[in-house]
Amino acid sequence: MSTAMMTYLFIGATFALYIGIAIWSRAGSTKEYYVAGKGVHPVANGMATGADWMSAASFISMAGIISFMGRDGAVYLMGWTGGYVLLAMCLAPYLRKFGKFTVPDFIGERYYCQTARMVAVICVIFISFTYVAGQMRGVGIVFSRYLEVDITLGVIIGMAIVFFYAVLGGMKGITYTQVAQYCVMTFAFMVPAIFISMMITGNPIPQLGFGSEVRGTGLSVLEKLDGLSAELGFDQYTSGSKSTIDVFFITMALMVGTAGLPHVIVRFFTTPTVRDARKSAGYALLFIAILYTTAPAVAAFARINLLNTVSESSYEKLPEWFANWENSGLIAWMDKNEDGKIQYTAGAAMAGKPSFTEERGDHGQRLVNNTATDNGNELYVDHDIMVLANPEIAQLPSWVIALIAAGGLAAALSTAAGLLLVISTSISHDLLKKNLMPHITDKQELLAARLAAAVAVVVAGLFGIYPPGFVAQVVAFAFGLAASSFFPAILLGIFYKRMNREGAVSGMIAGLVFTFSYIVYFKFINPAANTADHWLFGISPEGIGTLGMLINFSIAMVVCHLTAAPPKEVQDMIEDIRIPSGAGAPVEEGITSRPADSVS
């Protein structure tokens, strides 16, 4: 069976599975739609959390970025891993004990203020739409290559699938669909990793193969990569070009941004008890570690295969995979010196992304409408293709290539669904039910949630068609926004009883506006200035969320001590959240109510 037919079969089977689960587990109430009825087993919730967590950025782009950036790319691995531990151990159990549906619910109740709730809703929408852009781009990349359709059409197909099971099933449908997606994506990631590890090092365990010798060379994997990179004019793979302060700020932004991601936090609201929430956090960490500890090995193996296969090769002698990815517009060769060989060296091959013509060059390559840059590099490679292309580069069997396509789609769709649910619940529950239309019935609220999810799917699709960067970079911006807005408000809301509504709202607004403005300026308004010479304190847009967080903390603390303390009822509520009494008892509708006169 051909690779194309195998891919259609694998993707079709997984889509049928997801839709079948959504029909079986469709939500019939707002409680099932928002938090799956709070009846998800810890193991299932751990797997669903793993799927929600391991997005297209983790599955597709993280290894790709590490593959091209080497040590500098490891900030994503460190930040996301450390961030999950921070969230699972320090924040999630307390938020679960609070017993509400959403993060804005916690913010609104804790800070006894509708203004705080509204600011939290705005933050959720900003963060979620930024994050979902990366997921929809991942969907488009997979479809454009493996189903040989335009990226735009691929995004539309992905939108339709997510729309079906997110709108119909809500959190209940998404949870059990994500359990299936976790199994698909982990199997899809590990199988080619094991194959390629055996081919390159002879060791079937990728994590151990990463530290082994490359067959027939006497050199370790990293030594081999350092040598190949230096020969072609790149920095050594194990060296880094980023400053220490930027590495620290990016890692910290990813870490604390993780702890403020609403679609991950809400996963801990779906378990029957607080104890189960803690258990599911442990299971999720185990499930996530399987992929995350494999990613550096996959990145290194993919880089070795690419350098060995492409550099100084003539176009006519390249394997079929090159033409396949060339047709998708994600790899391109511009023969600058017209010698018929591919010179792959440091620097951008062309100014911007390639735009292909229908013509062929003298050596058979597809010609591009683009301006060449003044360096010797002739090859453009989209970072996001490395994991997906790796099985083809290594010439693995067709079923492995089809499997990686199904895994990439599972990763992107699982997180996209969680994000869209967060957006819809914030609009229907926090904006309408808790603010603008408090007297709507449960049925009307459920309808509003589904309509909001439908609109969110369309907007997410537009972000996927017109993405602002590589998948992992786009997601990094979402983490920066979460770090600068939600994390301080949640942390102080749990552990500092004196924090009041004035301080929290001021801090969230200041942190969000500063971080968003910095990112927009360097990425959209003046991208030419996006260099270390122009960055504030040498901090890149990917790491500016850490500074936004510090601004948030500072302003919140100052304003807090210049204004009145929170009501005693609120301080008692926080004390109750922090005391782990009755951790094994089910928590249904929250531990307390806010003061009756506390709406501002």
Banded pLDDT at 561 (limits 50, 70, 90): very high
Banded pLDDT at 586 (limits 50, 70, 90): very low
Q: Quick one: pLDDT at residue 34?
A: 61
Give first-to-last CA distance, the chain, whole Å: 65
Q: Quick one: pLDDT at residue 563?
A: 93
Q: Quick one: pLDDT at residue 583?
A: 45
Burial state string for 158-172 with b = 16 or more CB within 10 A and e = fewer than 16: bbebbbbbbbbbbbb
Tell me the longest C-alpha to C-alpha distance in the chain. Answer: 79
Banded pLDDT at 7 (limits 50, 70, 90): confident
Q: Quick one: pLDDT at residue 500?
A: 92
Output DSSP code: residue 528. Answer: G
Banded pLDDT at 594 (limits 50, 70, 90): very low
Beta-sheet strands, E only, within 196-257: none
Q: CA 534 → CA 236, 251, 530, 538, 539, distances in Å?
A: 26, 20, 7, 7, 9
Q: For the chain, what percent of residues have pLDDT higher than 90?
A: 6
pLDDT for 410 beyond 60: yes
Residue 331 identity = I
pLDDT for 232 beyond 80: no
Q: Quick one: pLDDT at residue 589?
A: 44
Other beta carbons within 10 angstroms of residue 459's beta carbon come to: 16
List Cβ neighbours of 265 (8 Å cut-off, separation of 6 or more).
87, 91, 92, 95, 103
Distance CA 325, CA 302 (A): 15
- CATH of span 3-301+397-578: 1.20.1730.10
Q: In the predicted model, what is the mean pLDDT of residues 208-214? A: 88
Q: Quick one: pLDDT at residue 441?
A: 79
Banded pLDDT at 597 (limits 50, 70, 90): very low
Q: Quick one: pLDDT at residue 165?
A: 65
pLDDT for 593 beyond 50: no
Q: Quick one: pLDDT at residue 503?
A: 92
pLDDT for 418 beyond 60: yes
Q: In the predicted model, what is the mean pLDDT of residues 167-180? A: 75
Helix or strand holding residue 3 (H, E): helix 3-24
Q: Quick one: pLDDT at residue 592?
A: 43
Q: Quick one: pLDDT at residue 224?
A: 87
Q: Quick one: pLDDT at residue 99?
A: 66
How long is the chain?
A: 600
Beta-bridged to residue 381, according to DSSP, are 331
List Cβ neighbours of 455 (8 Å cut-off, separation of 6 or more).
none
Q: In the predicted model, what is the mean pLDDT of residues 362-366? A: 74
Residue 156 identity = I
List Cβ neighbours of 136 (8 Å cut-off, separation of 6 or more).
155, 158, 159, 412, 416, 460, 461, 463, 464, 465, 467
**Mean pLDDT highest for which of 1-10, 306-315, 517-526, 549-558?**
549-558
Token pair for 264: 């991950």
| 44/30: higher pLDDT | 44
Q: In the predicted model, what is the mean pLDDT of residues 269-298? A: 84
Distance CA 253, CA 415 (A): 20
Contact call for residues 471 and 384 (beta carbons, < 8 A) = yes
Q: For the chain, what percent of residues have pLDDT higher than 70?
A: 88
Distance CA 256, CA 441 (A): 37
Q: In the predicted model, what is the mean pLDDT of residues 244-263? A: 82
Distance CA 460, CA 30 (A): 23
Closest among 81, 102, 98, 487 to 260, alpha carbons compared? 487
Q: Quick one: pLDDT at residue 556?
A: 94
Q: Quick one: pLDDT at residue 553?
A: 94
What is the chain's alpha carbon radius of gyration, rounded to the nearest angstrom?
24
Q: CA 503 → CA 28, 91, 496, distances in Å?
A: 39, 20, 12
Q: In the predicted model, what is the mean pLDDT of residues 294-314? A: 85
Q: In the predicted model, what is the mean pLDDT of residues 280-295? A: 86
| 66/417: higher pLDDT | 66
- Give me the torsion for CA of 525, 527, 533, 539, rounded to 10°: 80
Banded pLDDT at 585 (limits 50, 70, 90): very low
pLDDT for 338 beyond 70: yes
Q: What is the mean pLDDT of the chain?
A: 79
DSSP string, 422-490: HHHHIIIIIIIIIII-TT--HHHHHHHHHHHHHHHHHHHHHHHHS-SS-HHHHHHHHHHHHHHHHHHHH
- 491-503 tens-digit pLDDT: 898 888 899 989 9
- 439-478 tens-digit pLDDT: 887 778 778 877 887 787 888 778 777 765 554 456 667 7
Helix or strand holding residue 504 (H, E): helix 501-520
List Cβ neighbours of 443 (8 Å cut-off, separation of 6 or more).
none
Q: Quick one: pLDDT at residue 413?
A: 76
| 336/261: higher pLDDT | 336
Three-state SS for 342?
coil
Angle 475-481-485 (CA atoms, 0-180°, nearest 5)? 150
Distance CA 406, CA 14 (A): 7
Banded pLDDT at 33 (limits 50, 70, 90): low
- 370-394 tens-digit pLDDT: 788 878 888 888 877 788 888 888 8
Distance CA 600, CA 532 (A): 43
- 82-96 tens-digit pLDDT: 887 887 777 777 777
List Cβ neighbours of 3 (8 Å cut-off, separation of 6 or more).
398, 401, 402
